Amino acid sequence: MQTPILDDDAVLWKGEPAGRPLLVLLHGYGSDERDLFALSEHLPDEFAIASVRAPLNPPFPMSGYSWYPIEGLESRDPDRVTESAQRVREWLDVAATGATSVGLLGFSQGGAVALQTLRLDPERVEFVVNLSGYAAGGELPGDETLKASRPPVFWGRGSADDVIPEAAVVHTTDWLPGHCELAGRIYPGLAHAVSPQEIADVATFLRKQL
């Protein structure tokens, strides 16, 4: 099944992107556009913020939406991650018109899609915030560009996070330093979630991108 296009009617906006930097929020598995949008009050006001809804429905009884299918914790197909990243690119072609820059902030699945979008279009995406996510395997054409341009990436995760497979964490730990200017932090005792300290660190990172 091909990944559908993003639903523009489901996007939550804070501010207009014309003439401003745009920050796009990509939620996690089983959630929706309202989840990360709650963070917007803690992020720099200079950004226009758009929180988008993932295009797939997880299997029953899981509620919410997903960026790509997961069949067990080990099943994360890089091609499906790329399909959703391409849908984000297509949405940006219209929604980001007039924005002075574009950054992506994603949680879990959304973090993986954010990094994959950067890899697909390194000229468009200026930075990524990856919360409790990972870098998908395989190679993409933009990877060589990233090695040279080294855009800023913030990667935060909890020491008690048992949702992302260890192999994916190891791969991300190896991959990110060679493809970006990495700011990373592990939060002691934090599970697959976001903490107030992490939100404060993200806000600091975002202010530096201004």
Cα 204 versus chain centre, distance: 17
Entry pTM = 0.96
Domain, as residue range, for 201: 8-209
CB 15 within 8 A of CB 47: yes
**Whether pLDDT at 75 is above 60:** no
Establish if 74 belongs to a structural domain. yes
Establish if 110 belongs to a structural domain. yes
pLDDT digits (tens, 9 = 90+) for 136-172: 999 998 999 999 999 999 999 999 999 999 999 999 9
Establish if 1 belongs to a structural domain. no
Establish if 50 belongs to a structural domain. yes
Report how many domains make up the chain: 1
CB 131 within 8 A of CB 198: yes
pLDDT score of 61: 77
Cα gap 58→139, rounded to integer Å: 27
Q: What is the CATH number of the domain that holds 65?
A: 3.40.50.1820
pLDDT digits (tens, 9 = 90+) for 189-210: 999 999 999 999 999 999 999 9
Establish if 183 belongs to a structural domain. yes
Q: Mean pLDDT for the chain?
A: 95
Cα gap 118→140, rounded to integer Å: 10
- Concatenating the DSSP letter of every residue in 152-172 gives EEEEEEETT--SS-HHHHHHH
Establish if 3 belongs to a structural domain. no
Establish if 2 belongs to a structural domain. no
